[in-house]
Amino acid sequence: MQNIVLIPGDGIGKEITEAVTTILDAAGAKINWIPCEAGEATFKKTGNPLPDETITAIEKHRIVLKGPLTTPVGAGFRSINVALRQKFNLYSNIRPAKSLPNIDSPFRAVDIVLFRENTQGLYIGKEHWVDEEKKHAESIAVVTRDASEKIITAAFEYARKNKRQKVTLVHKANILKLTTGLFLEIGGEIAKKYPEIEFQDLIVDNMAMQMVLRPQQFDVIVTTNLFGDILSDLASGLVGGLGVTGAANIGDTAAMFEAVHGSAPDIAGQGKANPTALLFSALMMLEYLDEYKLAERIRSAVYTVLQDHKNECTADIGGEGTTKTYTDAICELLSY
């Protein structure tokens, strides 16, 4: 039995985490859920959006499944998600984007896995006023050899383990010669250790265009924090949006799996919430635990429901059903 911290989050978070835990239980996953709190609702109740009890639970159990969080204004955090990533050094943000049956998209046969460095770049928040009166501000991006080696190696190791053919490193070394230039230099060094994997590098603006023109040419992508944040959402858009793509944040000693879409408070409690993104994140969690066969069994059930039971799906993915009908349809297939 694996202990896993469960943070439902805000808005639709409770509904989609309930759906996902129901599906995993129906599939026979041996998980002991450790319920914890974080987010805007927790802040309103306790005065702290990220309670010490939640941090302690993560320190103890090291694996988290997290629903969408709303960071309350004035709570002292830029982002609760960023705080958790930095606290536990979850340097590797992994965002798969794969075409799904019956999901409306002009693209087909997309199968991209994007690795984003999760702890450096502009997101460290090193900002200051040069002249506050004249509204002149500066922000510092940090790139180090250690962090770059970790994320690039993680991308190549994933490619090797999953028999992927190519790794594309995305940068802006023509302009940002020291920071992303260093990232590119290290990528070239590491690529030599994986001769069986094709390596290419692309400048970020060309990469964005190429992903829209012909996304099928890409396999594994690795890049820095800001570029990864933007390109991973773009990749999700190629296959139907943030509601159908999972995400993992993995470090050397801890891992957090999450839905990256918003908490959607406008539809909370109405049975309209789509749990697919969090479910796919949970499947990444199962794979992290080496439960590959179980993850594939659940994924196959989801694909079958999308293909053959469309009416049971939620409206955002073309169905006429509810969170419950979608969940029940997946669970029914898992019961065979």
Annotate the chain with three-state secondary structure.
CEEEEEECCCCCHHHHHHHHHHHHHHCCCCEEEEECCCCHHHHHHHCCCCCHHHHHHHHHHCEEEECCCCCCCCCCCCCHHHHHHHHCCCCEEEEEEECCCCCCCCCCCCEEEEEEECCCEEEEEEEEEEECCCCEEEEEEECCHHHHHHHHHHHHHHHHHCCCCEEEEEECCCCCCCHHHHHHHHHHHHHCCCCCCEEEEEEHHHHHHHHHHCHHHCCEEEECHHHHHHHHHHHHHHCCCHHHCCEEEECCCCEEEECCCCCCHHHCCCCCCCCHHHHHHHHHHHHHCCCHHHHHHHHHHHHHHHHHCHHHCCHHHCCCCCHHHHHHHHHHHHCC
Q: Is 229 a catalytic residue?
A: yes
- Active-site option among 205, 252, 266, 308: 205
What is the Cα–Cα distance from 18 to 8, expressed in whole angstroms? 8
Residue 98: HSE in the Cβ half-sphere, 13 Å Cα cutoff: 15
308 is catalytic: no
Q: Could you say which of 66, 123, 201, 328 is catalytic?
A: 123
Catalytic residue among 10, 201, 229, 328: 229
Q: Of 249, 236, 239, give the one whose Cα is nearest residue 89.
A: 249
Report the distance separating Cα 123 and Cα 320, nearest Å.
40
- The structure tokens listed for 272 are 């309209």
Annotated catalytic residue 172 = yes
Q: Which residues make beta-bridge pairs with 78? A: none
| Residue whose structure tokens are 């705080």 | 83
290 is catalytic: no
Give the active site residue among 172, 201, 326, 328.
172
Active-site residue list: 123, 172, 205, 229
